[in-house]
Amino acid sequence: MSKNLTKKEYNRLVNLAGRAAIFAASLLIIVKLVAWVMTGSASILATLTDSLMDVTTSIINLLAIKIALQPADDEHRFGHGKAESLAGLAQAAFISGTSVYLMFNGISALVNGHQISATNVGIGVMIFSVIVTILLVAFQTYIVKKTDSMAIRADSLHYRTDIAMNGAVLLALILAGYGWYWADGVFAIAVSVYILYGAWQIGRLSIDALMDKQLPKSDEEKIVKTAYHIKGVRGVHDLRTRLSGNTKFIQLHLELDDNQSLLEAHNKADQLEEALESDFPRADILIHLDPLSIVEEEKLNDKVQFETSPLTSDKDNI
């Protein structure tokens, strides 16, 4: 998230992105419904169904964002950030089911065959759909760069697949205008497969967050490097990180010389916390202080226990 972004600004931006997605999807439902009635195209029906799905998932997304933005309380001491990941998982499940329906619809159109009428109307509507979706994705990309919201990122990923889908439908309608009616069914199937792939991506991101997957290696390396920039820090171990909503959780053990007073050690922990908050805004940071001699003693004990363990002894006798 942007270092200069306040909580109020963050809330405003993610809510604005959620409302923009609902408005865009609702607008496209209207124009695609008219186009489908006029053309009878299976691929337009596929993209109409997708837009109905879009507005539903965007509403769910907006509700999840509102929940995720609620501050921590007595029953949820780590906050409500995982509501975003739950919404992403719900999106993935809903999208997967819809894509299967669209696939069967495309197969039916391909097997049974049908002609498409008023292809010019359909082409015009799909061009309009591509433009609207590109504008929405551009706005969502801007919001994601500013906020790093998982819910908006998942929604943006979904609408990116819509751009490809609408482009494919547009091509199918153009080919149908030349009498290649089979293209309508083929592209409907292709669109459904692409949507299914998008659902898998959203689901993977959501599951990673729900399962507390660690932050990227680059982030963890940055955390360790920042710690070593604090004067007097002798080492870092037991680094644990995870992401919940837009909050990054960072826990680590900081190794310091034995002769430092408790106040000096506390001040160094404060310095590191301030530095990490500068690099990772809104992060929840927990630092445990360890005397260097204790760390070295624990490492020595671990080594002795390993070398004298039954498994190690048996291995030496093999």
Query: Residue 216 carries which side chain, given as an amino acid letter?
Result: P
**DSSP three-state, residue 244:** strand
Global pTM reads 0.64
- In angstroms, how far is CA 50 from the centroid of its own chain? 20
Cα–Cα distance, 318 to 93 (Å, whole number): 52
Residue 111: count other Cβ atoms within 10 Å of its Cβ.
8
Cα–Cα distance, 5 to 243 (Å, whole number): 18
All structural domains of the chain, each given as residue ranges with its CATH number in brackets, are 7-210 (1.20.1510.10), 217-317 (3.30.70.1350)
What are the Cα distances from residue 237, in Å, to 233, 251, 284, 299?
12, 10, 18, 11
Question: What is the full per-residue pLDDT of the chain (318 aa) written as tens digits?
Answer: 444 567 788 888 988 998 999 999 999 999 889 888 887 777 678 778 878 878 887 888 788 888 877 877 788 878 787 887 887 788 788 778 877 877 887 788 778 765 555 567 778 888 998 999 999 999 999 998 888 777 787 778 778 878 877 777 787 778 877 777 677 678 778 877 877 887 888 888 888 888 888 999 999 999 999 999 999 899 999 999 998 877 889 999 999 999 889 999 999 999 999 999 988 877 899 999 999 888 776 665 554 443 444 544 454 544
